[in-house]
Amino acid sequence: MKQLNRTRVRRRRLGVAAAAFGLVATLLTAGQAGATPDPGDTPAAPESVSKSDTADTRAAISSGEIPGQDEIVHSDNIEHIANVPKDALPGLNTDIAFQGKYAFAGNYDGFRIFDISNPKTPKTVAQVLCPGGQNDISVSGDLVFLSTDSSRSDDSCNSVSQPATEKSSWEGIKIFDISDITKPDYVASVETACGSHTHTLVPERKNVYVYVSSYFPNATFPDCQPPHDGISVIKVPRKAPTQAAVIDFPVLFPGDGPDGGGNPGGPTNPGVSKTTGCHDITVLPSKDLAAGACMGDGILLDIEDPAKPRVIDQVQDNVNFAFWHSATFNQKANKIVFTDELGGGGAATCNEAIGPNRGANGIYDIVGKGDKRKLVFRSYFKIDRHQADTEVCVAHNGSLIPVKGKDLMVQAWYQGGLSVWDFTDSSKPKEIGYFERGPLSTTTLQTAGSWSAYYYNGYVYSNDIAKGLDVLKINDRRTDPAKRIRLDELNVQTQPDYFDRWDD
């Protein structure tokens, strides 16, 4: 099957002429290669690139080596069936959650609810203006959860930016009641140390536990003090969400020093982020497991008691990983895919100058049993479709495609688009499909592209930072069995168990 016959020959030396060594050196010595920069309530200003980079990009477009400006290209096994542009929320689009026939799309300015009962024509059901980047979003029952990691004047949706050095500033989790899906009702908030960059739900019948990930403490921040070497755990009673509260702050990186026991970062490990918290956690409740992507560390956790997660194993990659960003289990829970957000989600890192191993996914096998389980590195995977130096490209959020006996994923890569890939063989991952747009600009480096690309009930939904919601369909015998799987709810960082569904 000629699934990738639209892949253009893109092995040219994109970015090499633009002082490749200088770019690599910058990324290696950046120290805190943080997560996506928080631009507050408006997108970050575009950054001008050199004249040589502009000329190089335009030449690559003219020769057909990369797509034209804003041109859509994709492999033959992927069909682009819909796009819904931004509407009342102009900020950066972020994560997505699903429930029934609805998709909940985060945005730095709030969130938007789509009716996706007909994926070819998604319809807006509600838009909620509630600024507070990055508004990472999830849903459980009648409750929607939003992360605020932008220091605000208060916890209201009318708040304004305020320095984190002020004690009255607020960051944390906001909770909405969606019993009337057309009119989400803001019902509760919980302030958390260092805010909430992302969060993960561990749902139970009566309560929802929320793991809050945040980082970058500072001695001048009253509510974000070093070492900040753990996560906040919130307990939310479903029938009384106003009683939601932080019940613990488990330390995941114990140590005697002022910075705890996580990765020390530079200068000990140049170019690697110092671990001062976690960026994201993915849970697999059916296996009582969680995987943490924690800046300079990847961790495997036991969550048999969801109120008290504990670390089983901890790994580092001080050669090729700069910032451990997110994690995905395979269904058998014997592998984890960790992503590296090289350049902090604000740099052009999918070019030949950076190479195939930095800014890649790291695939780890889980070996052993119980508390003796270990994470063992097997290989890297990175898209090999080189992007221009005007395109922010980075490994970002993705999800499993549920096919029995296979380990398949769809994953966002910002302006690298989205990739469908196979890691059934941990040592030999391979791409089997892709979708992307050409450069947003040939003169400036801008944050754009797919933030999250998730498989849900037969379709892929991609929240493009700049272009809005994309809906795609994969037509491939390797992924077709997944079309039979139907979920009532999906928060990708709360991975479902597909085994019972496969046996039906």
**pLDDT for the residue 277:** 96
For range 134-146, the mean pLDDT: 98
Q: Is 193 helix (H, G, I), strand (E, B) or coil?
A: coil
Distance (Å) of CA 57 to CA 54, 151, 225, 385 = 5, 37, 44, 14
Q: Would strands 93-99 and 450-456 be described as parallel, antiparallel, or unpaired? A: unpaired
Tracing tokens 């509510």 back to the chain, one arrives at 223
Tokens read off for 195? 């805010």
Please tell me the chain's helix, strand, coil percentages from 3-state DSSP, rounded to the nearest 5: 10, 40, 50
Tokens read off for 99? 């429930």
Q: Is 494 helix (H, G, I), strand (E, B) or coil?
A: strand
Contacts of 44 (CB under 8 A, 6+ apart): 37, 346, 447
Looking at residue 480, the DSSP 8-state letter turns out to be G
Q: What percent of the chain has pLDDT over 70?
A: 90
Alpha carbon distance 142, 223 (integer Å)? 30
Q: Is the pLDDT of residue 26 over 70?
A: no
Q: Is the dihedral of CA 423, 427, 431, 437 positive or negative?
A: positive
For range 98-118, the mean pLDDT: 98
For the stretch 325-351, pLDDT in tens is 999 999 999 999 999 999 988 999 999
Whole-angstrom Cα Rg for the chain: 21
Alpha carbon distance 279, 296 (integer Å)? 10
**pLDDT for the residue 145:** 98
Q: Is the pLDDT of residue 24 over 50?
A: no
Model confidence at 10, in pLDDT bands (50, 70, 90)? very low
Whether 453 contacts 418, CB under 8 Å: yes
Q: Is 35 helix (H, G, I), strand (E, B) or coil?
A: coil
Q: What percent of the chain has pLDDT over 90?
A: 83
Q: Would strands 78-84 and 408-412 be described as parallel, antiparallel, or unpaired? A: unpaired
For range 34-51, the mean pLDDT: 56
Domain boundaries, the chain: 20-503
For the stretch 255-287, pLDDT in tens is 876 677 899 999 999 999 999 999 999 999 999
Q: Is the pLDDT of residue 67 over 80?
A: yes
For range 342-369, the mean pLDDT: 95
For range 152-158, the mean pLDDT: 97
Alpha carbon distance 183, 181 (integer Å)? 6
**pLDDT for the residue 44:** 61
Distance (Å) of CA 227 to CA 33, 218, 260, 326 = 18, 9, 6, 21
Alpha carbon distance 494, 281 (integer Å)? 9
Whether 61 contacts 69, CB under 8 Å: yes
Model confidence at 56, in pLDDT bands (50, 70, 90)? confident
Tokens read off for 426? 């941990």
For range 215-243, the mean pLDDT: 96
Q: Is 500 helix (H, G, I), strand (E, B) or coil?
A: helix
**pLDDT for the residue 500:** 67
Alpha carbon distance 469, 33 (integer Å)? 28
For range 46-72, the mean pLDDT: 89
Cβ-based burial of 79 (10 A; exposed 0-12, middle 13-18, buried ≥19): middle
For range 54-64, the mean pLDDT: 89
**pLDDT for the residue 502:** 64
Q: Is the pLDDT of residue 21 over 50?
A: no
Q: Is the pLDDT of residue 227 over 50?
A: yes
For the stretch 378-431, pLDDT in tens is 999 999 999 999 999 999 999 999 999 999 999 999 999 999 999 999 999 999
Tracing tokens 């542009």 back to the chain, one arrives at 85
Alpha carbon distance 504, 255 (integer Å)? 48
What torsion do the CA atoms of 264, 265, 266, 270 make, to the nearest 10 degrees?
140
In CATH terms, the superfamily for domain 20-503 is: YVTN repeat-like/Quinoprotein amine dehydrogenase (2.130.10.10)
For the stretch 293-336, pLDDT in tens is 999 999 999 999 999 999 999 999 999 999 999 999 999 999 99
Element containing residue 489 per DSSP (H, E):
strand 489-490
Q: Is the dihedral of CA 481, 483, 484, 490 positive or negative?
A: positive
| Mean pLDDT over each residue of the chain, to the nearest integer | 90
Triad 306, 341, 445: Cα angle to 5°: 140
Contacts of 269 (CB under 8 A, 6+ apart): 263, 296, 316, 318
Model confidence at 53, in pLDDT bands (50, 70, 90)? confident
Q: Is 243 helix (H, G, I), strand (E, B) or coil?
A: helix
Q: Is the pLDDT of residue 36 over 50?
A: no
Contacts of 190 (CB under 8 A, 6+ apart): 172, 173, 175, 234, 244, 245, 246
